[in-house]
Every structure is written in structure tokens, then in C-alpha cells.
Amino acid sequence: MAQLWGGRFTKPTDQKVYDFNASIGFDKRMLFQDVCGSIAHARMLGKQGIISDSDAASIEEGLKGIYSDVLSGKLEISHEYEDVHSFCESVLTERIGDAGKRLHTGRSRNDQVALDMRLYTRGAVCTCDGLLNELLKTILDVMKSNIDTFMPGFTHLQKAQPVTLAHHMGAYFEMIRRDRLRLRSIYERMNECPLGSGALAGTTYPLDRDYVAQTLGFDRPTANSMDSVSDRDYLIEFLDALSIIMMHLSRSCEEIITWNTNEYRFVEIDDTYSTGSSIMPQKKNPDIAELVRGKTGRVYGSLMGLLTVMKGLPLAYNKDMQEDKEGAFDAMDTALSCIDLYNGMLKSMTFNKDIMERSALGGFTNATDAADYLVVKGVPFRDAHSYVGKMVLFCIEKKISIDEMSLDDLKTICPVIGEDFYETVSLKTCVDKRLTKGAPGPDAMKLEIESSEKFISDYGVLNDPIESFLEK
Ligand code: ARG
């Protein structure tokens, strides 16, 4: 047991209580953020004359040493400490003496942990943005090479109207693009520095909170010290964004799993992204897509978990808030690896274009276009709808498609039909003529691709402002 408090206690903490209370097992992953935050605090204390410049310098050097020793394996983050903050301060004091004991001047673990968690989350928001940007590039590549790849578009999982693979993937481009916009707005709201809020009511030391905020790449210090130590909104917002991202990936994975079945065979998942069965030698399973779909649940779970932790908390800090970490870290690890794996799977996947096109030819995906043909010939839409319904019935019976009907048979159903009907209901015409903004027709699609490309090149990727903080 190594803790930062104990002066007012006459008996040691029960070991079980100590273990229950400790967070080092999971907050040790915030070592980097804790060290950066403490260095910024120490520099400020020195600058303000609250501690001496030489103490500030030896604190900074000592903390950098701790970080590099942990990285190199020379120093282990021992679970005998209560949390990562106690670990850093205790080892620092062992190494540099009294100066180490001055580091916590004007600071509480409440604003310290609020800072560390915010820095960690901000870093994860940036990593997530970078991964999504890579994914957008992969999706765009698929779009660009599949403007003419016909496939059925579905509603109710029934073939509805013909689209192209470019158009279908363009829908996912839009989802991921919105995910990135969401991350950007979360980043902007969360980028305020809570350090200097103390336990809850600020401090009597002349801290320079603007300096600390700026040093750590924040836009400004937070406005209210009670809110600062008890706010986890930014984390909830990020978990929400991750949940939506997972929902998007999961929808696509569900399609990939379906498209990969023997019945569809629209896609072939690469061997490097598939797995086999221990008993059935013929099997090649879409495990990665299934796992992404399955892991969506635990990301949602973390969001629900944290919302529930926060809902009954009176101001300001309560120990319940230590429960923000495990679920959030798990959600971040899960979602970030899912984006990466999904991207790799998509990049290496083969689309069976012929099979997709054949599938678009069947299933009467051109029935709406057949009705529209009749409308152009002067038939009211409702009647046209009914005539085409009759054609479909006829075709089902004869096991043929609408464009395989003879002109005589067509005329028997509706006399206005002429030779030009066949051209109108051909798959190519059906797609080519869909030129409204956002539709699958090649000219509309080219515009969509252009603006998608422009988004990727113009919308810079978020970078973690403290990524190289310790190298300075
Ligand atoms: N491990 C704690 C947490 O995650 C650090 C803050 C402790 N503060 C306190 N007042 N006990 O929230």
C-alpha cells in the first residue's frame, strides 16, 4: 500500500478496501498524460514563483525520467500504488527528494484526473479521426472504380431498383464523413483545460491557468471549477460518437456477411481477413465482419454505463467517477481496432461484379422504369403501376424478366408499348437516367465523387497537440 494520504488516520486501510478503491490497474495507461500535465503544472508553479525555478526544473527532469524508464521497462508501474497519480508523485519524490513533494501545490487529484482523462480522450478523438480518414480513402477508391458496377439496390432486403456499387459505398462515405464532423465538434467543445480547479473551489495560490491551458494545447481554461472536476460530458459525447461509428460499421458488416454467403457471392473476403472451421474443411468464415458487428454491443454498453454512473451524482467530485475509465478505455480500444480492421478487410475484398450485375437483372428492379415508360406514353401513373404488376405476374409464371417478354405479350397487357420499351428498361438505361443530385447515374455519381474527394483533401486530420510534448 502506497498512498498520498494517511496523516489523519490511526489505523491502516484494510487490504480488501485498498484493492477495491485502487485504480492503478487501469489508470496506469494515462501515465503519459499524467506526466505531461504535471510538467505543465510545475512549469507554471515555477513561473509564478510558487516554487523555485530549480525545483520546477528538477520536477520536469524527474518526470521525464520516470516516463522513459517505464517505456524502456526499467521501471514497473507497481500495483502497490493507489493510482497513476500516486505512483508518479511517490517515485518522483524518491528520486528527487523534497522538490517532488512540492509538485502537488495548488492541485488536487480531482482536477488532476479530470485533466488526464480529458487529455487521454482528446488523443483518442484524434486517433479516431485519422483512422476514419484512412477509411474514407478506401471507400472512395471502391467508389471510383465501380461507377459502372451495377447491383440491385434493396429495400426490406428485397431487390428494389438498380444502383451501382459506387452509389452503395457512397452511402457509407457519407456516414463516415458525418462521424468525422461529429468528432470535430466534440473536440472543439472539450478542448478546455480543467487543471487549476483544485478539489472543487479553485485555490488561493496565484495560478496561471491560461498558461497551463496553452502549454497543453487547450483553447482556454474551463470556466467553473465545480463543473471542471465533475464534468464527463465530453467522454459521454465521444462514447456516443463511437457508438454511432460502430453502428455504421456494423450495418456494413451485416451486408458483407450476407454478400459473402454462397447464396449471394457478391464479394470474396480475402484469405488474410477470413478464418476457417476446425471441423468443416470447406468453410471460409467472415469472422472479422461478425466480430465488428458483435463488438458494437460493448461500445453501446460503455455509453449506457457511463450515463448511468453520472445520472445521480451531486456536485462536485464523487468517487463514482473513477468508474468512467474501464468502460471508456474498452470502448476506445474496441472501436479504434474495429475501424482499422474493417478498413483492411474492405481494402482487400474482391467484388464479383458479374454476379452483382446478374442479380440486378433479376428481381424486376426495372419495374419502376417500366411504369415510368408508360407514364411518358400518357398512361396515368396509378394505371401504369397496375399494368407493370401484371407484367411481373406474367414473368414470374414464365420464369423470365420483363425485358425478355415479347412485344406481342407486352402489347396484350398495355397496347401503348412499342419497340423503344426494351431500351428504356435495360439495366444501363435505368441507372444512366437517374441523374438527380445524389442518384446513381454516372454523371451524378461523378459529381458526388468529386465532392467526396474534395472533403478528404480539404478537411484536415486532427492531431494530438501533446503528441511530442516530452520531446521538447
Ligand atoms: N482514481 C481517482 C479517479 O479516477 C482519482 C481521483 C481521486 N480523488 C479523490 N478525491 N479520491 O477518479
Tens digits of per-residue pLDDT, 193-223? 999 999 999 999 999 999 999 999 999 999 9
> Does the active-site annotation cover 277?
yes
3-state secondary structure of 144: helix
How many angstroms does the Cα of residue 400 sit away from the middle of ligand 1?
A: 71
Q: Which of 72, 156, 457, 468 is catalytic?
A: 156
Cα 326 to averaged position of ligand 1 atoms, centre (Å)? 14
Distance 21 CA to ligand 1 centre (A): 9
Mean pLDDT of the chain: 96
The closest-lying atom of ligand 1 relative to the alpha carbon of residue 23 is: 1
Q: Is the CB of 28 under 6 A from ligand 1?
A: no
Amino acid at 428: K
- What residue's CA is closest to ligand 1, atom 11? 319
Ligand 1 touching residue 322 (CB < 6 A):
yes
What is the pLDDT at residue 6?
A: 76
Mutate to test the pocket of ligand 1, among 3, 84, 110 (most ligand atoms within 8 A of CB): 110
Confidence at residue 102, expressed as pLDDT on a 0 to 100 scale:
98
φ and ψ at residue 161, rounded to 5 degrees = -145, 155
Atom of ligand 1 nearest to the CA of 117: 4
Which pLDDT tens digit goes with each residue over 137-156?
A: 999 999 999 999 999 999 99
Least confident of 52-61, 270-279, 370-379, 390-399: 270-279
In this predicted structure, the answer to whether residue 12 has a pLDDT above a threshold of 90 is no
Closest by CA to 394, choosing from 55, 403, 126, is 403
User: Mapping DSSP to helix (H, G, I), strand (E, B) and coil, where does residue 235 land?
Assistant: helix
Neighbour count for residue 92 (Cβ, 10 Å): 23
What's the gap in Å between 84 CA and the centre of ligand 1?
A: 10
Atom of ligand 1 nearest to the CA of 317: 10
Q: What one-character-per-residue DSSP string does 428-466 give?
A: HHHHHT--STTSSSHHHHHHHHHHHHHHHHHSPPP--TT
pLDDT for the residue numbered 415:
95
Q: How far is the CA of 69 from the centre of ligand 1 (A)?
A: 25
Least confident span in 12-21, 226-235, 302-311, 314-323: 12-21
Report how far residue 100's alpha carbon sits from residue 118's, in angstroms, rounded to the nearest whole number.
Answer: 24
Q: Is 83 in the pocket of ligand 1 (CB under 6 A)?
A: yes
Chain mean position to CA 80: 35
* pLDDT score of 257 more than 90: yes
Q: In sequence order, which residues have a C-beta less than 8 Å from that of residue 27 and are 6 or more positions away?
A: 83, 84, 85, 113, 116, 325
